[in-house]
């Protein structure tokens, strides 16, 4: 599993371990931490951009399945440094596809939902809607999807693309636009000021990390190729999200309202009908439960 020391990846590791699988984690620790990795999993510090090191590590383990979650995941960083985004999310994904092919293992790829579909998509957005990303991050994930799907067809492997909503939960880092729940929780717990972009109006499809981990397991068990949204079909505005967290924190902080940054979406929600129908997966944690639980994980009583 690439990116297995990160926020989402470490939860996916735990889900597979709970299934009794042997898990090998590859991570360069640029954003992940070995503290997130269960002692029951093997670990190697490898950068997916380093093709020889990646190929050697995967060949030595001999995987039956490769879950690929390592990525440059910041929209704003992708705008500022598109060449870095290209190297990690496109070249790195190609390296993973090649190493997995050599091992005869299918790939389950963590892609993006909202950042891929763009602002003109119907809501909730089905997988059939043509991608129209607004930032290099979405473009690089679209390219990664193309390699994963093409390698699957070319080499007869049941590769899977999972288009994730805005994932939140324990272990998320409190920085970067993708980590807004962690950022707000951390700042509310510390009594620090808050900046809310888009004046609190943008919406996202917030999906709990435990539900996302179950989606990876469902994809592995299905053993069939496909592209699937992993979301709730529900829009939650940043303002609503902050209200739920403040209710749990017992605070009434007035945030600093700012316009959206370049490349960020106005609205997003994913249609999960296909994954429910074909893989039997459905999100189980509503934001009314997941957000307070996440706040308590960041700010213990």
Domain range list for the chain = 7-167+208-233+268-284, 168-202+235-267+289-298
pLDDT of 174 = 85
* Contacts for 49 with CB less than 8 Å, ≥ 6 apart: 87, 88, 91, 92, 95
92 neighbors 72 (Cβ within 8 angstroms): no
| pLDDT average, residue stretch 81-105 | 98
Question: What values do phi and psi take at 166, rounded to 5?
Answer: -80, 105
Closest to 180 measured CA to CA, from 198, 163, 162: 198
> Which tokens belong to 203?
């919406």
117 flagged as catalytic: no
Q: Report the CATH number of the 168-202+235-267+289-298 domain.
A: 3.90.25.10
pLDDT of 263 = 87
pLDDT of 114 = 85
| pLDDT average, residue stretch 203-229 | 97
C-alpha dist (Å) from residue 119 to 79, 125, 132, 203: 17, 11, 8, 11
- Residue identified by tokens 């639980």 is 293
* Candidates 137, 168, 197, 206; catalytic one: 137
Least confident segment among 100-109, 171-180, 212-221, 265-274: 171-180
Least confident segment among 201-205, 218-222, 242-246, 260-264: 260-264
% of the chain residues with pLDDT over 90: 93
Closest to 49 measured CA to CA, from 67, 66, 28: 28
pLDDT of 177 = 54
pLDDT digits (tens, 9 = 90+) for 105-164: 999 999 999 899 999 999 999 999 999 999 999 999 999 999 999 999 999 999 999 999
Least confident segment among 52-61, 177-186, 216-225, 270-279: 177-186
SS3 content of the chain, % helix, strand, coil (to 5): 45, 15, 40
pLDDT of 286 = 98
Question: What values do phi and psi take at 262, rounded to 5?
Answer: -55, 135
Handedness of CA 192, 197, 200, 205 (dihedral sign): negative
Maximum Cα–Cα distance for the chain, whole Å? Answer: 56
297 neighbors 170 (Cβ within 8 angstroms): yes
Question: What values do phi and psi take at 214, rounded to 5?
Answer: -65, -30
pLDDT band per the 50, 70, 90 thresholds, residue 38: very high
Q: Beta-strand (E) ranges in 165-261?
A: 166-168, 195-197, 203-204, 206-208, 226-230, 236-237, 256-258
pLDDT greater than 90 at residue 204: yes
| pLDDT average, residue stretch 181-188 | 95
* Averaged confidence pLDDT in the chain: 96
pLDDT greater than 70 at residue 227: yes
pTM of the model: 0.97
Superfamily the domain 7-167+208-233+268-284 falls into? NAD(P)-binding Rossmann-like Domain (3.40.50.720)
pLDDT of 188 = 96
pLDDT greater than 70 at residue 270: yes
pLDDT of 6 = 97
pLDDT greater than 70 at residue 244: yes
Q: Beta-strand (E) ranges in 28-130?
A: 42-45, 66-68, 107-112
pLDDT of 300 = 82
% of the chain residues with pLDDT over 70: 98
* Contacts for 130 with CB less than 8 Å, ≥ 6 apart: none
Q: Is 300 exposed, middle or buried (0-12, 13-18, 19+ CB in 10 A)?
A: exposed
| pLDDT average, residue stretch 191-210 | 96
């Amino acid at each position: 599993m690439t990116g297995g020391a990160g926020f989402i990846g470490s939860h996916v590791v735990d889900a597979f371990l709970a299934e009794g699988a042997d898990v090998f984690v590859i991570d360069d620790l640029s954003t992940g931490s070995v503290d997130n990795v269960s002692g029951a999993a093997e670990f190697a510090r490898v950068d997916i951009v380093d093709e020889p090191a990646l190929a050697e590590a995967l060949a030595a383990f001999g995987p039956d399945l490769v879950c690929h979650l390592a990525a440059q995941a910041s929209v704003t960083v992708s705008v500022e440094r598109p060449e870095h985004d290209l190297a990690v999310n496109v070249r790195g994904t190609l390296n993973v596809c090649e190493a997995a092919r050599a091992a005869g293992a299918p790939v389950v790829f963590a892609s993006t939902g909202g950042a891929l579909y763009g602002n003109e998509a119907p809501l909730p957005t089905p997988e059939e809607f043509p991608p129209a990303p607004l930032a290099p991050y979405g473009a690089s994930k679209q390219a990664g999807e193309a390699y994963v799907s093409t390698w699957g067809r070319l080499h007869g492997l049941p590769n899977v693309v999972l288009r994730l909503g805005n994932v939140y939960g324990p272990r998320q880092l409190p920085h970067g636009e993708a980590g807004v729940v962690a950022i707000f929780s951390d700042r509310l717990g510390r009594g620090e000021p808050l900046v809310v972009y888009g004046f609190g109006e943008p919406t996202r499809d917030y999906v709990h990390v435990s539900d996302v981990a179950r989606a990876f397991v469902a994809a592995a068990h299905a053993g069939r190729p496909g592209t699937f949204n992993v979301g709730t079909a529900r829009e939650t505005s940043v303002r609503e999200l902050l209200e739920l967290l403040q209710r749990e924190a017992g605070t009434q902080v007035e945030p600093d309202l700012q316009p959206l940054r370049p490349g960020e979406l106005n609205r997003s929600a994913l249609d999960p009908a296909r994954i429910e129908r074909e893989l039997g997966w459905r999100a189980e944690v509503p934001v009314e439960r997941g957000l307070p639980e996440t706040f308590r994980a960041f700010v213990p009583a």
